[in-house]
Structure 1
Amino acid sequence: WQEKRGLRELRVLENLKNTIFETNEHILPKCEQQMHDNLNEAFKRLQAASDMIHRLQEREHEERKLQADKLMTREEKRIAHWEEFMKEQQNKQAEVDEEHRKAMERLKEQYSEMEKELAKYVSF
């Protein structure tokens, strides 16, 4: 009876040894290779995604810079137009002031002549 038990345990140990050998020699290397292949594929995909994101960020940065440059150019043009407009307004104001001064001068002369004319009639 002990002998049969010993043989059974020996067979169990032999089967266990064969399973361990099969695992070490065949299954484990296949798993390692599969894991290595999958990690390489995942790394390649991550690298491609990272490159795409980097290019996208560069494009966005260039677009923001371009928009900022356009905005700055428009602002400079607006300031230049405003300064030109203000100069025109000052020139027009100077013209109007000069016309007003001349008109006042003419009116003074006209009223002065009218007073002289009236003075002639009053003295009669």
Structure 2
Amino acid sequence: MERKENNSPLKRHSAEFIIMDKVVKDVGDIQSRLLDHRPIINAEVRYFVREFEEKRGYRESRLLENLNKMVQETNEQMLPTNLEDTSQQLSDIIRRLEAANHMAERVQQRELEAQQNTHLQANLEKVKDDWAEFLKEQQRLKEEVDEEHAKAVGEVSTRFSEKKKDLSQYSFM
């Protein structure tokens, strides 16, 4: 009996699968070596911790804690006195501003009164000029009336004289 070679499709698939599996594994190893930086970062972190915690003996931490305490103490001591001083200064400033505002209002009131007085003075001058013009007009009208009256009296006198003459002529008769 002759032996047939076992080149069945199943065996071929199996062999290809094993080769592909090895290729995928190799690619994964290459990728982890090239792109996975975790081991390097972990080593750097350990070095950093060792440098700052172990070798320096927590010096920076203590320094920061001391600075924090100093800032808190300064805030507790300085803040109330600064607030009191600031409050006093603000009240002084408010008083000065109120006084300046009052003075400004007085100056403004005086300017308004001066403007009103100027306006009143101008109106008074205009009224005086109008009154003088009115009196001149009245004087002119009076003179016209006096003239007309004198003419009328003259005419009436002449008529009266004529009538008197006429009457005297009739009475002697």
TM-score band, normalised by shorter chain: 0.5 to 0.7
Matches within 5 A, 1:79-94: 79-94=128-143
1:103 corresponds to which of 149, 152, 164: 152
CA apart distance, 1:64: 0.9
| 1:70 equivalent in alignment to 2:119 | yes
Cα RMSD (Å): 2.4
CA distance in 2, matches of 1:108, 1:34: 107
What runs of 5+ residues in structure 2 fail to find an aligned partner? 1-73
Percent identity, please.
Answer: 25
Q: How many residues align?
A: 100
CA distance in 2, matches of 1:105, 1:60: 65
Matches within 5 A, 1:15-94: 31-94=80-143
Stretch deviating more after TM superposition (31-40 or 76-85) = 31-40
CA distance in 2, matches of 1:26, 1:91: 94
What runs of 5+ residues in structure 1 fail to find an aligned partner? 1-24
If asked which structure has higher relative contact order (CA below 8 Å, sep 6+), I would say 2
CA apart distance, 1:60: 0.8
TM-score (norm 1): 0.65
CA apart distance, 1:73: 1.6
- Which amino acid letter does the alignment assign opposite residue 88 of structure 1? E
CA distance in 1, matches of 2:149, 2:75: 109
Higher helix share: 1
Which of 1 and 2 has greater Rg?
2
Provide runs of 4+ in structure 1 moved above 4 Å: 25-31
